[in-house]
A = this chain, B = another copy of it.
């Protein structure tokens, strides 16, 4: 069995993430989706809890009929030198990591894991930072995220949460 790992903070889970998962889920038997910085929430950079992000992803993938995945929150360890070991201990064994991040690629590659670079989605259109910015400015953010994400953001009153966080940041 071949298992792959895909890491993200998913603040929030957007169409760019979904595009990648659609591409890579078919290349492995099981796809482990790691929710990074799982301990963070209620900040401008990381507004949503790991549980909320879990729901954004699982509701979306379930609706699409994608089933061969594990969703695993990964709390930070804040030391790159032990980070690969930390990730490996929390998730089931995997043989390949999908990433376009150079540092992640290097750290896992040095540690003996195969690295595959997924096709790049347009980062000008889709990025967590951009989506959060559009939400803050009252723009049309629903078109940037899957319906599952939009439902969770609404259920937790996420737009208001982000605006209050922006107010306090000053």
A contact set with B: CB distance below 8 Å: 38-43, 49-52, 54-55, 58, 70-73, 75, 77, 79-82, 84-86, 88-93, 101-103, 106-107, 161, 164-165, 167-168
Once the chains bind, are A103 and B41 in contact (CB under 8 Å)? no
Q: Please determine whether B41 and A80 come into contact, CB atoms closer than 8 angstroms.
A: yes
A92 partner residues in chain B, CB cutoff 8 A: 51-52, 54-55, 58
A50-B90, A58-B92 are contacts. A42–B103 as well, Cβ < 8 Å? yes
From DSSP, what is the main secondary structure of chain A's interface residues? helix
Shortest Cβ gap from A111 to chain B (Å): 9
A10 to chain B, nearest CB (A): 13
Taking CB atoms, residues of chain B closer than 8 Å to A103 are: 42, 164-165, 168
A39 to chain B: which residues have CB within 8 Å?
Answer: 79, 81, 89
Contact A81:B161 (CB < 8 A) given known A51-B91, A55-B92: no
Number of copies: 6
Assuming the contacts A79-B39, A81-B49, A164-B106, asked whether A73 and B90 have C-beta atoms less than 8 A apart, the reply is yes
Known contacts A89-B81, A103-B164, A164-B106; is-contact A71 B73 (Cβ 8 Å) = no
CB distance from A42 to the nearest CB of B (A): 4
Give the 8 A-B residue pairs with the shortest CB-CB distance, closest first: A81-B89, A42-B80, A102-B164, A82-B85, A82-B82, A85-B85, A49-B89, A55-B92
Contact, CB under 8 Å: B72 / A107: no
Neighbouring B residues of A77 by C-beta, 8 Å: 82
Whether the pair B42, A107 counts as a contact (CB closer than 8 A) is: yes
